[in-house]
Structure formats: C-alpha cells, structure tokens
Amino acid sequence: MHINRKKIIKVLLFILMVVGLFMLGANQYRMKWWPFEDGFESLSIDEILPDQNAKIGSVFGTENLRVYNLPIDDEFPSGPFEILGNKRFLFISKCGEAYFTALDDNDIERTQSPQRLSKSDDDDDDAKPLVYCQGSSGVKDSLRVNNSLYVSYIVWDDMQNGARLAVSEFTLDIVNSRLVYKRDIFTSNPAIKEPFLGMQAGGKLALGESDEIVYLAIGDFGKPQGVQDTSTSLGKLMKINTKSGTVSLYASGLRSPSGGLYFDHEAGDLWETEHGPRGGDEINLIREGSNYGWPLVSYGTMYEREGNGDYYGNSYNGHDGYEKPIFTFVPSIGVGSIARYPKSGRNAYWENSFFVAGMATTTLYHMKKEGHRLVYAEPVLSGYRIRVVKIDADGRFYLKTDHNQLLMSE
C-alpha cells in the first residue's frame, strides 16, 4: 500500500497548529489544561464582558443601578467615601490615601494624584504614616460636616507599643481637591498590644443632633475582657462635642461595631449594626446609658479560637439582663452599613425603611421599619460585597463595594 508521506506530514502539522492555538487561547483565558496545569479553572463571564448594570429588586419596587469601576487601588477591608456634589466624590483607602474623583461621561476619574493622610503639609514619603495599616487595621470611617472631614483610623502608639482608635479632623478643600490636617478630637484608651483584631476595632461615625455632635462606636479589638471595664474605651459608644472638645460615654457592651452607625435626624434615634460572634449579628437602637451585654450575653455562640474560652459568658442564645437588639441575624450575615430610605424618595413603599448590607452574604437587605420594630429582612440585591450604603434626600442609592466598585442609581 502506497503511503503519501507529504499528506501525512501536512495533517500532522495542521493538528499541531490547532493544538497550539488551543493552548494559546486556553492560557489567555486561564482555562489551563493538563499537562501544563491541574485542569480547567472557572472563568467568570464578567472578566470577558463586565456587567455595567445592576438592579435592586424588591416585592415593592425596583431601582436600576449603574456599576462604575473606581480608579483607586484599595485593600480589604476597603475604606469609606464621601459625596461632594456636582458628580464629585472622595474615596479614602484602607491605608489612608485620599482620592478626589469626578464622574465624567461614563467613568469615574481621578482629578489629581492620591494624597496620603498626614499631619504635615508636605508629602514626605519618608515620614511615618499616620494610619497603622497592618492586617485588618487602617481607616475605618469618614464623616463630612460642611467643610470638615472627620476620619477614624487605627494609629500606632510608639510610646505604649500598642494600637489605638483615633479620630482626626481635616479641612476639606473641594476646589483644590485637598485635605489639610486640623486637629485630633479623640484617641481610645488603652493602647492595645499585638496580637489584636483590627476588624473588631469599630470606628464608625455618625452626625448627631447638630453639626457639633459626632457619635463614635468602638469595638473590643478582640480583647473582650476590657469591654465591661468603664476605665477603657473598649466596646463603648462615645458622644463627642466637636465645639467644646468634650467626650462622654453614651452606651457600652459592644463587640464589633464595624458595620454601620446611623443617626435618624427625623426620629432622633441612633442605630448601630454590630458583628456578633458565631451567629448573633445585631441591629441595635442605641439608648443613652444602656449596656448591650458583650461579652456576657449574645444570641450567637463563640468561635472556637484559641484564648476565647476563658471570657465568654454562659448565656448562649440569650440576652437577659442587658439591652436587647432590635433585630438579630442567625446565622450571621456579616452585617454592614445601614441607611434609611427618605420620605421624599422615589418609592413610597420603601419610605422610612432601612437598607442594610450583608457583607458575608454579598446581599443588600430591605428592612421594613414600624416604629422601633424591624419587621423583616428582604434580600433585594446579591453578588456585591457592599462596604458603604448611602441614600441621598432624593432616594438615590450609592453603594461602594470591597472590589473597588460604586453602584449608583441611574
């Protein structure tokens, strides 16, 4: 039998070319295949065709959102942001870089290079950073009050060799896109030595009854034995008068108020979301002088971490003897930011309701509010780990995620 060697060679070359093109394409899209890798890796369609739209979907209405990728380089857990007006925003990264940005056509762009938070006027790269940014420590929150910006962050105390939660005031110069340090208004006590849990430092801020009142929620830093000790700041809710400089204890018994703090100016109520232990995430109505019980009571149970067994009280799945939460999530949702939908908003069915982020569940919840009761938690948006929830007076949503995205109402 006659064998056409030229034809066989052509066929082999064709097969090699096809295999080569497949391998090149597989590598390009990271669908790696033996013998070069262990097998196919999942490829998200978002990496090929990113979805620029999302929708809040409730039984009582919908809200279309536009998804913007942010021109910042942030780490987990990501930092806060402020709405400056005229389509301008200020984002602060976990490690203390301030990004002034503007919405231009279909993109959010920087208006200048990032500025590192500092107590000096010059940008000295060799100067000690203001923000202690190790692990889950860093910037915890920001609060704009007219031309002032209050920033809460973890700072390292060299003298005491430990970490503290600090709040500083900066002058906000929107025209020149600049923050200028003005003064410190609070520093927690005592300095916490390593190891500690920066994720449980709290640091959430809320503007109170007037422009001179700022509320600050402080966590236990993973040192619960100090929470019920009135000589420490651990697990306390502080009321700060920025005019007189006085600081007073408002409430106590908090674990990890790392989710959100919201003052309802119409009702005069202060609401706080708090990470519980294993289960037991809470939404609390903060009442002056109240004790919320940590670490003696919780509707959750403890994590099996080394060193935690010697402090936790015996009252699992209960809250007797202490102020009880208005709403509890079991299992935990990684409860995050909280904001109220205004009465002048676009949807009458949502008026006076809360919208609350579940970071662990990557879900936004609509929570029906009746008086001081929260009736239900309705999942209305999924797939986004939302770090900050803001709703303006017109009912427009601004949702910042831990993946450098901003979701805005269209």
- For the chain, residues with pLDDT lower than 50 are 26-50, 306-311, 313-314
Identify the pLDDT of residue 30.
38
Give yes or no for a contact between 274 and 329, defined as CB atoms under 8 angstroms apart: no
**Contact by Cβ (8 Å): 312, 338:** no
Instruction: State pLDDT tens for residues 237-274.
Output: 999 999 999 999 999 999 999 889 999 999 999 999 99
- Between CA 344 and CA 342 the distance in angstroms is 5
Residue type, 297: V
Spatial separation of the C-alpha atoms in residues 80 and 72, rounded to whole Å: 12
Please tell me the predicted confidence (pLDDT) of residue 278. Answer: 81
According to the model, what pLDDT value does residue 381 have? 98
List, for residues 37-94, the tens digit of each pLDDT value. 344 344 443 443 345 899 999 999 999 999 999 999 888 889 999 999 999 999 999 9
Q: How far apart are CA 136 and CA 116, in angstroms?
A: 18
Q: Could you tell me which residues are beta bridge partners of residue 217? A: 204, 237
**Stated pTM of the model:** 0.85
Give the burial class of 251: count Cβ atoms within 10 A of its Cβ; 0-12 exposed, 13-18 middle, 19 or more buried.
buried
Q: Counting beta carbons within 10 angstroms of the beta carbon of residue 288, is it exposed (0 to 12), middle (13 to 18) or buried (19 or more)?
A: exposed
Query: What's residue 264's pLDDT?
Result: 96
Contact 100, 175 (CB under 8 A): no
Q: Could you please report the per-residue DSSP string of 179-233?
A: EEEEEEEEE-SSPBPSS--GGG-EEEEEE-SSTTEEEEEE--TT-GGGTT-TTS-
Geometric angle at alpha carbon 53, from 374 and 111, rounded to 5°:
100
Instruction: Quote the pLDDT of residue 130.
Output: 94
Peptide bond into 35 cis (omega under 30): yes
